[in-house]
Chains A and B, each alone.
Chain A
Amino acid sequence: MANELFTRDTQAIFWNNNKSAIQRMLDYDYIIQREKPSVAAIVAPTSSNKFEKFFFGTDEVMIPIYRSTAEAVKNHPNADVLLNFASFRTAYDVTNEALDMDQFRVIMITAEGIPERLARLMNKKARQKGVTIIGPATVGAIAPGAFKVANIGGTIENIVKSKLHRPGSAGLVTRSGGLFNELSNIIARNADGIAEGVAIGGDRFVGSTFIDHMLRMEKNPKIKYMILLGEVGGREEYKIIEAIKEGKITKPVIGWCIGTIAKHFSSGVQFGHAGASANAEEETAEAKNRAMREAGIHVPDNFNDLPHVIRGVYEELKGKGIIQDIQEPEVPPMPEDYSKALAAGKIRKPRNFVCTISDDRGEEAVYAGIPISQVATPDTGYSIGDVISLLWFKKRYPKWATDFIETVIKTVADHGPAVSGAHNAKVTARAGKSVVESLVTGLLTIGPRFGGAIDGAAKYFKYAFDNNMSPKEFVAYMKKQGIPIPGIGHRIKSVRNPDKRVEGLKKYAKEFFPATPLLEYALEVEKETTSKKENLILNVDGTIGILMVDMWRALGYSEKEIDEFIESGTLNAFFILGRSIGFIGHVLDEKRLGMPMYRHPWDDILYQVEKAEEIK
């Protein structure tokens, strides 16, 4: 254990709820058939969740979330690895705090650009406490077949192809995280894979360097040879050379420093990491490659020859019997993610919902196929009436029709505070309820007696007209049914005192509608009814219902389609929409006035309560 970074029992605390990285660790656990998930807990200071769900194969497991590292440590005393995925602003504080807890053996830090002074303080403290810091600015480390840090190794497919799912014979250390997968691939193709791999990180000051890991690998019997990929800048590679000279490293080492290109350019071009610039001749990639070669390290002539050198060392160790053949373990198939399989067209499922009016999946949400930005601003030429025609009827109506729709909306927007819906909204608002609650109370009043006449008028007038009833026959028919004709009659308005709203609607329709047959029929009916009583005029609800039918007819809808509109309550919907404007006005008015709770006065209620009769 002391010579291995991770085992199959190693568990980590993951700082930051980085769901995709954690899922990748659990996917890895699944294919190597670990018993316990490699992530014991998550620390997320701002999370209000108690746990997060992750897949483990086709099953799901719950991983607890804590708001502090201290809490996680208390509940998971065996988790001795901290995967610090905090940002460069907080990564130092998280590490510093974790070091004081004396539970972590390994701390991996992913953030790039931690202030150098803080990085040095943190690294020094870790060394004093014997804690291995991997990073900052690293993709992490892996012990194939045992434990994988976050995203290292890439997709499961690549992990298996690069033999990162079971231990091989090489120990790999690299500065570049981006080339880690590539090296694993090279080693898998030319040898038998790696037993442990570490990307030490790209910042100038990293917590553990090549020498720390290679001295450990020297003592790990699973590792038969080591591969070091360094970079221009720094002197870390010389420490390996020293260790070889002092006999502290005896296993074969293959080495290469990238950035040999830098020698061709005096200055100005930054090749590679922030820490990657040579401050002296010995720090150039070329000098380090030369020195490594002189120390007996296997150094290729150039990067392109690295595979051959690896193959050579591997074959030699195999020839000597130091490396044995590996029996390849069985890899359980990795279940595919639903969303990925769906995107790839590999699976299908029936949909539970259908939507035919709008779509929010693309670059911009659309109303009936038209992006919102193309209907929103005045210069688009689209009005509210147009938006209603798009979303309610999936068609763009001509201007005379959308203007009519707007006329209706404006006409029904409000009718004062006394009508039952507005009254209810006001009472609710005064009870301290929100805008939406108050509005809904008002809206719930809408029905057959309040606002519902629009539907009814359209329905009955159309029925009579379609069945060729004469106005007389219609009035008689309704009387026989025992139903007052919807849309006929007004409390105070009469033939001599006409409703100006109705006058306006009629005038507009006569001028702009291609034809108004139902209105004309209704006016004949009105003549019939007003001859009996002055105030039995065609009222505003009736006019709207009837004109809507005329509108749809002129727009080319079939009778069946219009009947469906009426049946589904479309006409009422115009009233609901319009009157919502007024209700909201009343609710805001109450809020503005700050009126107290309303209580109905006793003297306005007829109390007539008798003692309940007892039924035996």
Chain B
Amino acid sequence: MAQKPIREYDGKRLFKENWDKYFSGLNYPFESVLVRSGEELKEKANEPGYEWLKEKPLVAKPDMLFGKRGKNNLVLFKVNKPGDVTLEDAAKWIDEKRSGKVKLLSGQEGELTHFIVEPFTPHTEEEEYYIAATTLDENYDVLYMSAHGGMEVEENWDKVTEVKIPIDATDEEIEKLIRENIPADIPEDKKETYAKFAINFYKFFRDLNFAYLEINPVVIVGDNVYLLDLVARLDDTAGFLMKDKWGDIEFPTPFGMPEKSPEEKAIAEADAKSGASLKLTVLNPKGRIWTLVAGGGASVVYADTIADLAGGVEELANYGEYSGGPTTDETRFYTETVLDLMTREKDPKGRDKILIIGGAIANFTDVAKTFTGIIQAFEKYADKMKDVGVRIYVRRGGPNYEKGLKDIKEAAERLGLPIKVFGPETHITDIVRMALEEDKKGAK
């Protein structure tokens, strides 16, 4: 639940679908398609309403939540000269671009899978304006306006006007604030159109629960408005209010994010089905220190402490948490997934692996019940755990914790697994210190 980026195509679709309500009097020729391959583009061109794909010169670019596509040389707008890109050219270019990994100037690396294709809009640099809005803080939104849009907007940031708009401003106040602040260097004959567009742009931003919305450049020719490049983030917590307005919106994974491993996917699926929360990120599958932590806050302090006391994160294998009263089966599945990952290979230096079963003092979760699932997983993985050499450290408090601790200690001892067990009398993260100190003893 947070602010989530959406595709440029979806951003433009939202403009189109709400255009008449916000921007009546102005025209926006929404001609955009989102495709995954050259073939899909060519098929699209045969559908009614998409004749422009064959008739007009085209522009193609990846639509995958990253910016600076021009600077990354990922915008096709010319073969020999600007505005000569045909459907064939665009299809060929898309297939070329999606056939391998791409590394951006920012260092992000990944495969290109989604492309937006639009007509080439001939215009001069002077016609490129800039507009953006964002949620500044608890009291204000801010609207950014500039007569100098385009690739160099950041270099020209001193020419951008910022208008702070109180979140509870009335329509009249909004209109007044924006009109008073229209950048002086917008040509006189365009000022009125730009102002009208800017006022309604802000209302559109506000009403549709955007967290960020930027158009750069926006080109104004007469009453025609061309949204050439768009970046947007939505506040996805507003999803339940925006069902009709957003339609079937997609929140794609940001470009360059490593693909989830099958184990992470399995936990994410279990999480989606459960009323409880199950989260797992594998940071380093060859790491030596694995964590099974209950609770979001606790999971952070364990990760912090491991990094602080181990002098870095090289040894930290995973990050994650379970909370919200998972069932015994869910806890068992979560534990088995972690144990499976941790017992695949021995530490190359022959050291013990460390399993931190941690958690704060639970409010109402029955600790003994949760531990039943962990014990069941121990029973299944005991032999493998002994093979790779796992030392277990437990710290937990909350309802029924005495029984939980006693049960897990007895089970581990019965299975021949080395275990140390602590309750609320021991500081939450102190087991991390103990585990690492034990390492040093072993090293001597």
Chain A residues within CB distance 8 Å of chain B: 20, 88-89, 112-118, 120-121, 123-125, 139, 151-155, 157-158, 161-162, 176-179, 181-182, 185-186, 189, 204-205, 231, 258-261, 264-265, 267-269, 271-275, 285, 301-304, 306-307
Contact = CB atoms under 8 A, between A and B. Distances in A.
A514 B309 CA distance: 82
Given A88-B240, A185-B397, A258-B304, 8 more contacts: A118-B238, A124-B139, A139-B363, A155-B398, A178-B296, A181-B360, A182-B397, A186-B428
Interface stretch (B64-72, B85-93, B429-437): B429-437
A258 B363 contact: no
Contacts of A177: 297
B138 A205 contact: yes
A228 B45 CA distance: 60
Interface string B231-242: 000010110110
A117 B238 contact: yes
A185 to B, nearest CB: 5
B296 A115 contact: no
Contacts of B295: 178-179
A185 B139 contact: no
Contacts, number: 158
A301 to B, nearest CB: 7
Given A182-B298, A261-B313, A271-B319, A155 B364 contact: yes
B238 A115 contact: yes
A185 B3 CA distance: 35
B298 A112 contact: no
Contacts of B303: 261, 271
B362 interface: yes
B308 A260 contact: yes
Given A151-B364, A304-B430, A261 B209 contact: no
Given A185-B424, A303-B308, A113 B297 contact: no
B300 A258 contact: yes
Interface in B275-307: 281, 283, 295-298, 300-301, 303-307
B241 A272 contact: no
A178 B298 contact: yes
Interface of B: 1-3, 135, 138-139, 167-168, 206, 209, 211, 235, 237-238, 240-241, 254, 257-258, 281, 283, 295-298, 300-301, 303-309, 312-313, 319, 323, 360-364, 397-399, 424-425, 427-430, 432-433
A158 B139 CA distance: 39
A273 B427 contact: no
A268 B258 CA distance: 8
Given A116-B235, A304-B427, A154 B308 contact: no
B138 A274 contact: no
A302 B237 contact: no
Nearest to A274: B2
Contact of B297 (A176, A205, A285): A176
B319 A269 contact: yes
Given A113-B237, A260-B308, A179 B397 contact: no
Given A120-B138, A139-B363, A182 B235 contact: no
A269 B279 CA distance: 11
A121 B397 contact: no
Contacts of A303: 301, 304-305, 308, 429
Contacts of B301: 179, 258, 303
Contacts of A268: 257-258
Nearest to B1: A113
Contact of B309 (A154, A178, A302): A302
B429 A271 contact: no
B363 A181 contact: yes
Contacts of A162: 361
A290 to B, nearest CB: 14
A-B interface, 4 closest residue pairs, ranked by CB to CB distance from nearest: A176-B297, A115-B238, A302-B308, A182-B360
Contact of B1 (A112, A265, A267): A112
B298 A264 contact: no
A23 B359 CA distance: 26
A272 B296 CA distance: 6
B206 A154 contact: no
Which interface residue of A152, A155, A178, A273 has the most chain B CB atoms within 10 A? A178
A181 B294 CA distance: 14
A307 B360 CA distance: 14
B167 A121 contact: yes
28 contacts: A88-B237, A113-B1, A115-B241, A116-B3, A117-B167, A123-B138, A139-B363, A154-B362, A158-B397, A161-B424, A176-B300, A178-B297, A179-B295, A231-B300, A258-B300, A261-B300, A261-B319, A264-B313, A265-B283, A269-B281, A269-B283, A271-B319, A302-B304, A302-B309, A303-B301, A303-B308, A304-B305, A304-B309
B116 to A, nearest CB: 24
A179 B297 contact: yes
Contacts of A89: 240
A20 B364 CA distance: 11
A190 to B, nearest CB: 9
Nearest to A266: B107
A589 B237 CA distance: 54
